[in-house]
Structure 1
Amino acid sequence: MNERRPDGAPGSVRTPTHYHCYKWSGSGQEWDRLGRTDTLDVNSPDRPPQRTNDWLNKSPRLIAAVRTSAGDARDWLVAEWGRVCENALYPVPAWVDGEDRAAAALAAIESASWPTYSQWLAGGTIVLLSVVGTDQTCH
């Protein structure tokens, strides 16, 4: 594993023992409120984080899956992305999908550059998907 720190977080990167696969969705109004700290607690454990690595500090209910290998975590991310794109507000261009995206996601996971994808859905909902590796004993 690369010794790169995700999001500039302090400390050295340790080899993950497993990967948390996160999924958060909310309405457009809720998403808009996230940018205004006077109206919503952005540190709430039930809200998506400001920094990708901070998913680990959020509510466990946001963990949609747990995978033990980088490849399995990538497979979850790519599959969820495919399902999300089926309901996208606007058509998703072909270049956004496919083998290249899967390869890039795996490279990001293997280098601890935790990938996050987002998509607006028909009906005014936004979905965020993210994979973050950890060596914490949390399950």
Structure 2
Amino acid sequence: MTATIPPFDFDAMYAKVPTVWKERRLHWHCYSWRGTGADWANDSLRHTDSADITPSAVRAWLQKPQRLIRQICSTPEEAAEWEMKQWTRARAEALTTVPDWVSDDSHERASLYELRSGNDLSQGLWVKGQSMVSWAVIGTADACH
């Protein structure tokens, strides 16, 4: 007897609107970085809080200098919109084609769901010119502004 795994209903999942972000009183810091593959591979540089480069750990963005904050968002919708702009820009110049199953709609819905759930977003793509582009949307409840 072979067990089958039923298909997952993403539409039903996304129909739920999580409110974790409200309970945690989150706002989001949006970061982006573009640089060389050599810099990206330099783990000691990426572990340096003062370095203007994507950190190795996602939440370490919050330790970076404030000059690296590209935008501050107060709602998950606003943060997802900023993230989608980064995705669209990077995808347009990606070295390899983004698979068809990663549609803009599915990407945007997943990002919004994750932000509403209180999760951070972090992505990156290799782009033309032997460069890496990365961006992150990090939630925080700190009274930092």
Q: Which TM-score tier does this pair reach, normalised by the shorter chain?
A: 0.7 to 0.9
DSSP-derived class of the 1:105 partner = helix
> For each residue in 1:55-86, what CA deviation from the matched residue of structure 2 results, as whole angstroms up to 9, or x when unmatched?
11112122111111101100110111101111
Aligned CA RMSD, in angstroms, stands at: 1.9
Following the alignment from structure 2 to structure 1, what is the Cα–Cα distance between the partners of residues 62 and 119? 14
Cα distance in 1, alignment partners of residues 46 and 64 from structure 2 = 13
Deviant stretches of 4+, over 6 Å: none
Structure 2 residue aligned with 1:65, among 71, 92, 96?
A: 71
Unaligned runs of 5+ in 1: 4-12
1:54 paired residue among 51, 55, 60: 60
Match of 2:113 in 1: 107
Q: Name the structure 2 match of 1:118.
A: 124
Are 2:32 and 1:30 equivalent residues in the alignment?
no
Q: Which has the larger radius of gyration?
A: 2
CA contact (8 A) 1:22 1:130 kept: yes
Among residues 25, 31, 41, which one is paired with 1:15 in the alignment? 25
Identity of aligned residues (%): 30
Partner SS for 1:22: strand
Distance 1:41 1:102, change over 3 A: closer
CA shift in 2, pair 1:41/1:100, >3 Å: closer
CA contact (8 A) 2:90 2:127 kept: yes
Structure 2 segments unaligned to the other structure (5+ residues): 1-18
Q: How many residues were matched structurally?
A: 125
**Equivalent-residue separation in structure 2 for 1:79 and 1:94 (angstroms):** 18
Secondary structure, counterpart of 1:76 in structure 2: helix
Q: Does 2:133 correspond to 1:127?
A: yes
Q: Which residue of 1 aligns with 2:48?
A: 43
State the Cα distance separating 1:33 from its structure 2 match: 1.6
Measured in 2, the distance between the counterparts of 1:49 and 1:106 equals 23
In the superposition, the TM-score normalised over structure 1's length comes to 0.80
Distance 2:141 2:31 in 1: 16
